[in-house]
Amino acid sequence: MTHKIRKAKLEDAGPLSDLIRATLYISNIGDYGEENIKRVAENLDPNAMANLIQTRFVLVAENDGQISGTAAHFEQSARTVFVHPDLQNSGLGRKLMQRIISRSIDLNEDHLTVTSSIFAQPFYSKLGFETLKELWHGDERTFLMRLDHPSP
């Protein structure tokens, strides 16, 4: 399956929100429970996604017109990185993150951070990110991770 990775357009907001909601409810619910997942999903509704598309560098991966992955870059940080559960471990997430990492390097940033879910921490570790610390938001546990870029 070949995915085209491109910059998100405003009309992608609804499908992106749907992708994120599906991923949260399938991949993350076991670690965070219904209440936390519902709150995060509500914060990434179509209106919020439209705002992110307008204010951040947002990529989407699509195949046959279907959005199956996304990743964003904002202020030395990878954000809203999601791959449809059926495509996790397919290399799609790695391709999206390689584009985000390359952009960060092209902007002369010396590092890139990401706040990772419990589920995604091993994925980011394989990409070279190191866990700096655990973060707690109520009973929601995430990890602040960092990837240092090579010196020029």
- Asked, for residue 120, whether it belongs to a domain, the answer is no
pLDDT at site 150: 86
- Asked, for residue 150, whether it belongs to a domain, the answer is no
Q: Which residues pair with 145 in a beta bridge?
A: 114, 131
Counting the structural domains of the chain, the total is 1
CATH number of the domain where residue 105 is located:
3.40.630.30
CA distance linking residue 152 with residue 144, whole number of Å: 25
CA distance linking residue 150 with residue 94, whole number of Å: 19
Query: Residue 80 is part of which domain span?
Result: 4-109
Q: What is the mean pLDDT of residues 63-79?
A: 95
Q: What is the mean pLDDT of residues 22-40?
A: 90
Q: Kindly indicate the confidence band of residue 152, based on its pLDDT and cuts at 50, 70 and 90.
A: low
pLDDT at site 33: 87
Least confident of 29-33, 34-38, 136-140: 136-140
CA distance linking residue 6 with residue 116, whole number of Å: 23
Q: Kindly indicate the confidence band of residue 139, based on its pLDDT and cuts at 50, 70 and 90.
A: confident
